[in-house]
Chain A
Amino acid sequence: MKFGVVVFPGSNCDDDMVWAIGEVLKQPVVKLWHKESDLQGCDFIVLPGGFSYGDYLRCGAIARFSPIMNEIIRFAKKGGYVWGICNGFQILTESGLLPGALLLNTNQKYICKNVYIKPATTRTLLTQKLSPYRPLKIPIAHGEGRYYAPIDTLKELQDNDQILFQYCNPYGQVIEEANPNGSMLNIAGICNESRNVFGMMPHPERAAHKILGNTDGAKVMESLLAGI
């Protein structure tokens, strides 16, 4: 399983993702420079977090025009696995690979803290090995992470079982108090209808090693690997 982590100008979780895939999952991983259009035979593409192009426009709005994104869109349409985290999720919604949008947090502030999320489906590569009953402690770090989609789209997400994760409290209850940014339906992550493109705001790579005092994120990454 060869992973490719895309580096946009302003990406800043690229090294973290490479570290997590290499050190924790022990899988081969390469960086893919945004100006290139060769995916180097990768089986799984990761769009990491950060502030691509400074995020001075809407987050991810410029990165989607990078040369490599054309390739990634083609790759995804053919069924290739693509996973966007944080800024990567924003880029995926901007490029139309995932529905909806990520808006400014309701408190108008950047928020970085540990939150709890719970898989809303286990019918995806990313969540198949996770317990639907055990909440995971995973950090978020974003200013624009409030998931928004029109009602019809939300209904489709629910009907097609496309919601990956929802924010919950430490006891696994999906309630408003546990929603850190005002996301609709407490959505923390979704997948596309063909279930090969994943986007989520929380950062599992930041909770993937005992040095970080938290290995819940490693569970998500290991789930991913187990399925392939």
Chain B
Amino acid sequence: MESPANYEIAQELGLLPEEFDEIKKHLGRIPNLVELNIYAVMWSEHCCYKNSIAWLKKLPKDSPRLLAKAGEENAGLVDIGDNLACSFKIESHNHPSAIEPFQGAATGVGGINRDIFTMGARPIAQLNSLRFGNPHSERTKRIMKGVVKGISHYGNAFGVPTVGGEVFFDERYEQNPLVNAFSAGIVKIGKTVSAISYGVGNPVMIIGAATGKDGIHGATFASDDLSEDAEKDLPAVQVGDPFLEKLLLEATLEIIESGCVIGMQDMGAAGIICSTSEMSAKGKHGMIIHLDQVPMRQPNMKAWEILLSESQERMLVVVKKGKEHIVKQICEKWDLLCAQIGEVTDTKRLQFYYHGELVADVPAESLVLGGGAPVYYREYKEPAYYQEFKKFDINQVAEPSEEECIKIAEYLISHPNIASKAWVYEQYDSMVGTANANSVEPCDASVVHVKGTNKFLVISLDCNARYVNADPEVGTQIAVAEAARNVTVSGGEPLAITNNLNFGNPYNPEVYWQFVGAIMGMKKACEKFQTPVTGGNVSFYNQSADGTSVLPTPTIGMLGLMTGIENRISIPFKHRKDLIYLLGKPHNDIASSEYLYSYIGIKASPAPAFDLEYEYQLQQEFRRLASMRLFVSAHDVSDGGLWIALVESAIHYKFGFHIETPRHIRKDAFLFGESQSRIVVSILPENQELFEKECKVDFILLGEVTDSTGFVVDGIEYCYASKAKQLYEKALPKILEN
């Protein structure tokens, strides 16, 4: 056996002394170094959610449409009818992207797609949610260009369209950018494969890439603050090969189709050890694995390196005994490596041999979430800023003059958080798959055709982290509500969510307070919208050595469904003389708006006005009216307020608009405030009477679409279409190309 470990080594690997004691109990002896490495990585936050699972369990998980609940499979599984299910998930690759943006982001894309196709689903849509520091800083430019190029490099070659996402800048992400990748796939109900292993004597096979020394301890690396000399952690970043992933996708789906598979799991975080232990624990079996049989990229790898390697594009497959040749044939067709590395046993233990010697012998159950992995209830404490932020009063800001409003209007159109992200998304192949319904006219959510049916996935990723920071509970409710609103106004019905919880260090009670608040807010909103949480990813430690943590960012990935392309509603105004209405109620509120935060420069304010029940009623009513085909266009009011919603509706076809503002609300609040639960719609003039008679929620007739191209507010031209288009489209390239 390998030499025994001790407390010091345990600590170096990120384990607490009490965790080391716990390991001794599980083994009934002192672990050796290989075993210690195994526990260190399996008990990292990244693999076992030890600091978050107690709270994650409070999230709603039930819906008649759910075929697999959170944590049961690699990704959530939702029944979409036609005997099909959608498998979808979001996952972060924040730390690797901070160190090596290109590969970090690329392998994030690779990893999330493997989570989908390891279940037997063919990915049909990718999205991503990106957050960076100040776009003018050289560091941010370098990271952002690398991340976008990495996603483009991997996602494009993989051949699944990148159909949407979000990009947001705030100095709180300067040291720790966030890269969250989402994928959704389609599978026939009953044809899914689980991450499970059973059946004594069944062969355990590894297919795909050879195993190298890349990404070792990546999971542990992701479970610590990002240190100043993090660049020396470069080997912890993996290297991706999208071409291999594409072959692996095709081969995997063929292998599943052949019916010879017992269970399968991709190798992502913590590599072979993670897949062997999770599959075995789930199937209540053991495995004997001969590490010499693993195809290796380089000679002289140590046992623990093979076990922990996070080399990409690999799958672990447990095959029905006697069917190995089928797997081999399919791999040969796709020019993929394939090797049997061991077999299933009934010992419930994982026994790893290397050069004929037993190098590790551990109970599978003791390693995993729900088994022996630790669960912690962390301390949390309300930070002082929370009450401070609430003291903000709109009267601290003088009401701007008409000239000032015009300046603000142009400022917001060209603000990097609001301006067009075409510089980013035009580098992604958004149309491969001939299923993206939005490539000519945009919608608030992505709309993707499910081939062979009349169904469409409607997907939105959302989180305004400034709102969450100001008020974690309300801010997260807003994130869920906005995602649902985007799905709704695009013509879809929200079904379920996946989440990516990006926070700072969980051992900091004030950070943990943000986390707890976010969970409680998400719970409330998801219960209201009946959109259960199907799974996701927790990313703590998005904090640099100086203690600066990112804004709390619980990204919501909402899956919705639409039947029939004729129900899709896009953003652009379509005809002159159409009437423009605001659905929902305006508030005298500018809290946490981009206007207040960036233009005025006040960063301490509460979350914008929001009422969950009101929001729910608004969306219900919108869907009812939409089913009557009353809306020619629809766009939700979010970042930049009503003004930006109007501008984005007008510039696509270069229309103008005339609107009147109400007198009882400050003009800056009405135009630039970000109070929630508002939607801008346009309707045909002949439907005015019907609409006003039918509409059961608050509405205001704002004005009408014009072909004069002027954006006119209360008789004054604030901007005009071609200028707005220029400002909107050139803002980001102007910053990034300099």
Contact = CB atoms under 8 A, between A and B. Distances in A.
A222 B366 CA distance: 62
A11 to B, nearest CB: 8
Contacts of A208: 434
Interface stretch (B155-163, B341-349, B396-404, B500-508): B155-163
Contacts of B438: 213
Interface residues of A, number: 36
B258 interface: no
A51 B426 contact: no
A139 interface: yes
A54 B242 contact: yes
A2 interface: no
Contacts of A53: 243
B231 interface: no
A212 B434 contact: yes
Interface string A131-148: 000000101010100000
Nearest to A137: B440
B93 interface: no
Given A141-B156, A211-B565, A214-B439, A13 B246 contact: no
B432 A141 contact: yes
A12 interface: yes
Contact of A110 (B152, B333, B436, B451): B152
Contact of B440 (A10, A13, A54, A214): A214
Nearest to A141: B429
Contacts of B441: 213
B92 interface: no
A225 interface: no
B449 interface: yes
A110 B243 contact: no
Contact of B431 (A110, A137, A139, A211): A139
B430 interface: yes
Given A211-B565, A213-B440, A213-B441, A10 B157 contact: yes
B137 interface: no
A203 interface: yes
A50 interface: yes
A71 interface: no
B243 A10 contact: yes
Interface string B397-440: 00000000000000000000000001001111111111111111
Interface string B528-546: 0000000000000000000
Contact of B427 (A12, A110, A214): A110
Given A10-B157, A112-B429, A141-B432, A54 B439 contact: no
B247 interface: yes
Contacts of B244: 54
A13 B157 CA distance: 10
B335 interface: yes
A20 B244 CA distance: 26
Interface string B232-244: 0000000001111
Interface in B549-577: 565
Contacts of B432: 12-13, 16, 49, 141, 206
Nearest to B335: A9
Interface centre among A19, A51, A56, A208 (most CB of B within 10 A): A51
A54 B159 CA distance: 11
B650 to A, nearest CB: 18
Interface in B142-173: 149, 152-153, 156-159
A51 B152 contact: no
B246 A211 contact: no
A189 to B, nearest CB: 18
A114 B440 contact: yes
Interface in A44-86: 49-51, 53-56
Contact of A211 (B153, B242, B422, B449): B449
A16 to B, nearest CB: 4
B157 A55 contact: yes
A26 interface: no
A9 B153 CA distance: 17
B434 A209 contact: yes
A15 B124 CA distance: 12
Interface centre among B243, B422, B428 (most CB of A within 10 A): B243
B427 A112 contact: yes
A111 B431 contact: no
A109 interface: yes
Nearest to B454: A211
Nearest to A33: B333
Contacts of B333: 35
A5 B241 CA distance: 25
Interface centre among A13, A56, A206 (most CB of B within 10 A): A206
B610 interface: no
A113 interface: yes
A110 B429 contact: yes
Contacts of B435: 211
Contact of A114 (B156, B437, B439): B439
B334 interface: yes
Interface string A115-157: 0000000000000000000000101010100000000000000
Interface string A199-217: 0000101101111111000
Interface in B241-255: 241-244, 246-247
Contacts of B425: 112
A192 to B, nearest CB: 27
B247 A51 contact: no
A87 to B, nearest CB: 10
B439 A110 contact: no
A50 to B, nearest CB: 6
Interface centre among A50, A137, A208, A212 (most CB of B within 10 A): A212
Contacts of A214: 439-440
Given A12-B159, A212-B437, A206 B247 contact: no
A203 B427 CA distance: 16
A151 B451 CA distance: 45
A32 B451 CA distance: 22
B247 A9 contact: yes
Nearest to A16: B434
Nearest to B243: A54
B437 A109 contact: no
Interface in B441-477: 441, 449, 451
Nearest to A50: B159
A212 B435 CA distance: 7
Contacts of B334: 9
Given A112-B426, A112-B428, A210-B565, A9 B243 contact: yes
B127 to A, nearest CB: 15
A216 to B, nearest CB: 10
Interface string B699-735: 0000000000000000000000000000000000000
Contacts of A141: 156, 429, 431-432
Nearest to A208: B434
Contacts of B565: 210-211
Interface in B199-216: none
A8 to B, nearest CB: 11
B241 A54 contact: yes
Contacts of B449: 211
25 contacts: A9-B247, A9-B335, A35-B333, A49-B432, A51-B157, A51-B246, A54-B242, A54-B243, A56-B243, A109-B152, A110-B153, A110-B428, A110-B429, A112-B426, A112-B429, A113-B426, A139-B431, A141-B429, A206-B431, A209-B434, A211-B449, A211-B565, A212-B431, A212-B436, A213-B437
Given A110-B152, A139-B431, 4 more contacts: A10-B247, A16-B434, A141-B429, A206-B431
Task: Kindly list the 10 A-B residue pairs having the minimum CB-CB distance in the complex, ordered from nearest.
Answer: A12-B159, A54-B243, A213-B440, A51-B157, A16-B434, A206-B431, A141-B429, A112-B429, A110-B152, A110-B427
Interface of A: 9-10, 12-13, 15-16, 19-20, 35, 49-51, 53-56, 109-114, 137, 139, 141, 143, 203, 205-206, 208-214
